[in-house]
Structure 1
Amino acid sequence: MVVFRRAAMRGASSPALLFGVKAALALVSAALAVVLSALTVVSLRIARRVVTPAVRLADTRILSLDTAAQTITLGRTPDTELPGRYGLFTDGTESYVKLGSVLAEDATSVKRKLLTHIGDQTRIAPDAAFSGWYYDQPEELHLPFTPELIGSAVGPCPAWLFPAGDGDVWVIQVHGRGTTRAECLRAVPVFHALGITSLVVSYRNDGEAPRSRTGTYTLGATEWRDVDAAVGFARRRGARRIVLMGWSMGGAIALQLELSSAHRDALAGLILESPVVDWRVVLGYQAKLLRLPSAVTGIAIGALKTEWATPMTGAGAAIPFDRLDVVARASELRHPILILHSDDDGFVPSDASHDLVVARPDLVEMQVFEVARHTKLWNYDQERWSQSIRTWLERQGLTAP
């Protein structure tokens, strides 16, 4: 009798138990769906941000100006505390000021010398953007130049031409993501002194060149064609040997041109400053900086590389990450490459640059910097940066006799 009752009780509880298990599974499934949905939304936002041309954002706080001493005090950040010469985009009566050495610092602020004279009547908003450009306009170099238009598939792309030497050797400079060709002006005097003509170019969707249909980046997969048009322009103007110099994403563009251009016979080498060599490495690093789950990067890359997701990512076409991975394609490289990269870059990690040296030690040389941050190697140590380029060019036989 006791056995019967216990069996009856077990039988009576089975439907309740089954219902409880189903309810728990339903809750878990719902929770997982919410999590996956949230990850997907975040991933698509990241994907869209990657291909959308960046707008300069204020990242620096101006705490005070001393017009008598010509100094400026800034909120302390990893950039504002750097040794060297830099620039600051500002709002007010001055749009851009040059910054000199650090004069004093504490836990929250950094006082720097002003290299742009600031008068007593100057009014500048406290929010500013720190810059490694230093030179903002080509006239500041005090070198002869002409504005040019390079015909490309999307229309005429503005460029600056700085003639030098006999016109036999040219360097074509390619700026990075979210910047303009002014980023490249720092390098022009180095090449000019060596008798090398500089062509500083723009490309689709950078705010100066024409806009593509979608107005978004393809991370080098199509932008290289605009630079290839500049190579053709240089050849028509008499260039016989051409060096490509790419900064950050400009490095990715230059590498795609090296791998795909019909003008490869005219190329003599590449100089890459803080380059993107493999976008997947960069996006993974950026996700870690933002403390995002690794799944976010995977979903974002998956969305960017598929055609069906382009309406959600804003990309005009699927991004060919395999084609943009130059470490994997290292065997296809044909010309010598000089990489200038800091292990403390802080934005584009130097890992893929190191990997490219390992993959092609016969062609790729790397000058490793420390402390200097992304595309600010010239600012941090101008002499070493310039000498590295001069020495490499001399070894390639690209300088004037």
Structure 2
Amino acid sequence: MADRGAVARKAALGAAVAGGSVAAAGALTSVGAAAYFARKALTPDRQRPDDTQILAVGDTTVTLDITPETVMPGRYGLWLDSSRGHVRLGDVVALDHERGTVRRQVLGVDYGLLAPGFARWNQYFFVGPPDRALGVPTEYVDVPTELGTMPAWVIRAERESNRWAVLVHGRGARRDEGLRAVKPLRDNGINVIIPSYRNDLGARSGPDGRYNLGLSEWRDIEDAGLAAVQRGARELILVGWSMGGAIVLQTLSRSWLADHVSRVVLDGPVIDWGDVLAHHARAHKVPAPIGGLSRALMGRRSARRLVGVHSPVDVAKTNWVQRAAELRHPMLVIHSVDDEFVPVGPSLELAAVRPDLVTMEPWDTARHTKEWNVDPDRWERCVAEFVSG
């Protein structure tokens, strides 16, 4: 069935043009474009397209086409056969720009068949439940939330401890994103819970099925923290990647959980959604006035139906450079200056205005939330020193 709002807008546009109202037609076109951009920003990616081609498979290597991702140094993962398989890749062995190919080490095939064809790059490296991916005892739990239960993994430290970490993945990512942080936390006697939140694949949807940029997702992380407290947590560490960082910051601002939090670790975090949305508008050649109108529409109660959200999404509330005075928790921020998806600028600004709280660890080379992949030893050392200090 056609969207009535879309039909009405088209009818109004047609009437405006027929009546010679070019200005009105232009205004409606601008609103429509802004609403479309807003919906794209807030809509979960249910299925991401393959972005890598496997050209040849050797005994210990694989040959891929050259993309901005496949030539990066470090360790990465590759989804096979529409996520029915997964392989872990190591460093670049050979690079042939003339043929457009790159050969990388194969560190392990987790499951599925590694064969020529199309695949999808990922930063997780470790995938699947922690007991299978990391070889650590894992509890599969269901966290009660206002939307129903959400699945989570619990990994306990080897020794009994009342220190817990809640690991919050990013926009469109999976819980697997947090697996890279388990070792430095667990080695420091910290139990870990890796929860889902609304609109995750395999989890409950929110009232509108759209992301709220952390402004509603924090409630599910509060519930995950409560689950940790019920299991004996007396101290919490919040760890967030990308939009997970925005969710963590909202949790610190809005939840009683903040009183139990001792430290915060953020990787490639969204410190200011306004900056990120403006960056993507420029990247997609969206005119600045359309991008600005898009952000304004997200926050207007009267535009909820147009944008497709249950509640207004006030982008201004996600600007933690402006809200820096409200922060009160020691924070480690790991962010690459070469991040192509979430620009590093707001992270650097936050560190500059709150040097009393923020320890900034700038990376280079790494693309978005791939700092661990480029230098896992440094990443784990930084996190271990921060949580044990």
1:61 alignment partner in structure 2: 52
Structure 1, 339-348 or 163-172: larger mean CA deviation: 163-172
| Structure 1 unaligned residues grouped into runs of 5+ | 1-25, 396-401
| Structure 2 unaligned residues grouped into runs of 5+ | 1-16
1:46 to 16, 24, 37: 37
Report the alpha carbon displacement of residue 37 of structure 1 after superposing the two structures with TM.
Answer: 4.2
1:168 aligns with 2:158: no
Provide Cα deviations, 1:321-359, integer angstroms capped at 9, x if missing partner: 122211111111111010000010100001111111112
The 8 Å contact of residues 60 and 75 in structure 1, kept in 2 or not, is answered as no
The 8 Å contact of residues 60 and 74 in structure 1, kept in 2 or not, is answered as no
1:72 aligns with 2:62: yes
The 8 Å contact of residues 197 and 204 in structure 2, kept in 1 or not, is answered as yes
1:293 to 287, 291, 296: 287
The 8 Å contact of residues 182 and 192 in structure 2, kept in 1 or not, is answered as yes
The 8 Å contact of residues 58 and 127 in structure 1, kept in 2 or not, is answered as no
SS at match of 1:235: helix
The 8 Å contact of residues 94 and 123 in structure 1, kept in 2 or not, is answered as no
Report the alpha carbon displacement of residue 31 of structure 1 after superposing the two structures with TM.
Answer: 5.7
- Which amino acid in structure 2 is aligned with residue 75 of structure 1? D
Mark the structure with the bigger radius of gyration. 1
1:96 alignment partner in structure 2: 86
**Cα distance in structure 1, aligned partners of 2:372 and 2:137:** 22
The 8 Å contact of residues 343 and 370 in structure 1, kept in 2 or not, is answered as yes
Structure 1, 348-357 or 87-96: larger mean CA deviation: 87-96
1:115 to 107, 112, 132: 107
1:4 alignment partner in structure 2: none
Q: 1:236 to 1:94 in 2, by over 3 A?
A: closer
1:377 alignment partner in structure 2: 371
Root-mean-square deviation (CA, aligned residues, Å) is 2.2
Query: TM-score with structure 2 length normalisation?
Result: 0.89
The 8 Å contact of residues 52 and 67 in structure 2, kept in 1 or not, is answered as no
**Cα distance in structure 2, aligned partners of 1:180 and 1:51:** 17
1:281 alignment partner in structure 2: 275
Q: 1:172 to 1:32 in 2, by over 3 A?
A: same
Report the alpha carbon displacement of residue 252 of structure 1 after superposing the two structures with TM.
Answer: 0.3
Q: 1:325 to 1:112 in 2, by over 3 A?
A: same
- Which amino acid in structure 1 is aligned with residue 163 of structure 2? V
2:7 alignment partner in structure 1: none
Query: TM-score with structure 1 length normalisation?
Result: 0.86
- Which amino acid in structure 2 is aligned with residue 334 of structure 1? R
1:234 aligns with 2:228: yes
**Number of residue-to-residue matches in the alignment:** 367
2:151 to 149, 153, 158: 158
SS at match of 1:116: strand
Q: Identity across aligned pairs (percent)?
A: 35
**Cα distance in structure 2, aligned partners of 1:305 and 1:380:** 37
